[in-house]
Structure 1
Amino acid sequence: MPGSELLTPGLRDWLQANADLLDTTAELADAVVPRLADAGLLRAGVPVELGGSGGSIGSAIAAISAVAEHSLAAAFVFWGQRTFIEYILQSPNAALRARWLAPLLAGTVNGATGLSNAMKFLSGIESLQISATPTDDGWQLDGALAWITNLRKDGFIAAAAVQVAGDAPPAIVAFTSGSAGVTRSADLDLMALRGSNTAAVKLEAVQIDAEHVIHLDARAYLPGVRPSFLGMQCGMSIGLARAALRSAHALSTSMRGPLLPRIEAAQAALAQQEATLIEGVEDGRFKTAAAPLFRLRIALADSVQEAVMLELQASGGKAYLQDRDTSFARRWREAAFVPIITPSLTQLQVELQKHAAA
């Protein structure tokens, strides 16, 4: 898949100029989604008849990868927005889609995935953190989510899995920041990716109606959307690894260094992982066989760690000098996030152990 050529020159230049600022401060956090929208990236993989630019989910993965080559913070926001868009694309709720899809694609409202807790729940790792009590015209939501990205301070819509009272199955719903009882925390004090509008949310007696139900059965819905959730998440790793390996290759070529064969082998392996990922997401195999997708997510995380280590070795001591190019230091911090984004590598390894035992 192509890389930075997917970006408009204006977006590419803006990301390159502000990558460190997006990583270390919240100064430009609210500018990311509108910039992505203006460049048409949020429409990748969305049917033309619904306002998108067409293509498949592979188009969205490629676009996220291209952004991640320049800024993982921006790619993280992109993943959150585009994943929420995917939720409502795959929802049977036409009213929800009609109300929210256009502003989400236009970047005038931020969408937050909120389903990290749900993905853990699906794997039996964690109980649901939000309860839903039926009311005369909908549900009342109570609970909290400790970590959600893309929560724009002046307005957002977020997805969450909820435990419904009684015998009903867990459901997937959406709630908005303007609803009474929704409280956004201050930004979490992250060591990197600080421009990602990442915070916690508390819900106290929040009222929602049928229009805000993404799906009435979380267990039926989540396996179908998980390949897109994880596939687009993997796009972050692909772009970051690609950027680090490109830098390492340029440094090693200029010095005729002994690292060059290892770098080129890593680039070839990364390209193969990307091709396998997109093929599997597009042909639907990961909907019924999650283990190969989990292995790919782990392999791509390993590729990121190898890539930044090769870049460090190719750079040598100058990588430690603050007055030199800061791109490596940023990528090093960004790479530290890849193993822990939900589902973390530890959680995936536990899942694979259970799968092997079964």
Structure 2
Amino acid sequence: MEEQSGFARTVTARAPGKINVSFECGDPREDGFHPVATLYLAVGLDEEVTARHRDDGEIAAELDDASSIAVDQASFPVGADNLAVKAALALRDATGVHAGADLRILKRVPIAGGMGGGSADAAAALVACNALWETRLSRQDLASIAAGLGSDVPFALFGGAAVGLGRGEDLAPVPLRTESHWVLIPASYGLSTPKVYQELDRQRERADVSVPAPQEVSPEVLHALLEGDPLKLAASVHNDLTPASIALAPELAHVIERTEEAGAHKTLVSGSGPTLACIAHSSAHAERISMQIRDELDLQTIVVSAPAAGASILPNCGAV
């Protein structure tokens, strides 16, 4: 690899998207954040960030033309509004390094889809710039920076499966020994996470319901995932945000019903949506469900397995 100004010229890192197998949410705290108890699962659908050293100290993002999802170039944020840029700036502030980078982002995770694509970009940017700038922070140090960037960014760093408490950033790893299989259905539109939470608050206010901060995820869903039993998992998954997501995108209810008729054990809204995740029994079953959904509903599908590893440097690009 070419060297210049003491730094490697480019480093590429990848980080996984996620689904929330379980998501419980309390009423908003004084700081405005909702306390959650969620079961994160990293899936085999990655974002990639290639960090190229800049001598002028600037940090900017650009979209990789090879991205597999449709992205409006005109609205793609290239400055501090981009979470990957925020991550690089936060790393620089934390370490005092005087360096810049161009961040080329290859997107595969649906945008505003409830799968943490922006969080994966941030995690990949942290790992890539940590190697590019030779700041040599540990994974735990990077996680501390990640927690200040967004609730899902720490999980994208570690991947696998984990219980998330607090805002979701307080992680307890869940050691999985079995693989699960999923069919993802991205929507042609996005849902704003803050707007979904606002709708949830309105629904609870209208129903005069108060929900305390959850302290743990359901033991049933945790055991089902640990056992690798897709039928038990289908019977135990839950997402408190689903009614709010459906209120903002009513067509989701119809798609959920039709996908379960097509053979999915269960179809759930991932996070705040609108991406849907269908539980399959095996990889072959997932392929059959995917084909039927495409043929009968004319919807895009992505077959993935889980768990997936956390953010990492791609081969021949160094290590963190």
TM-score normalised over the length of structure 1: 0.27
Flag the structure with higher strand content: 2
Report which structure shows greater RCO (CA 8 Å, sep ≥6). 2
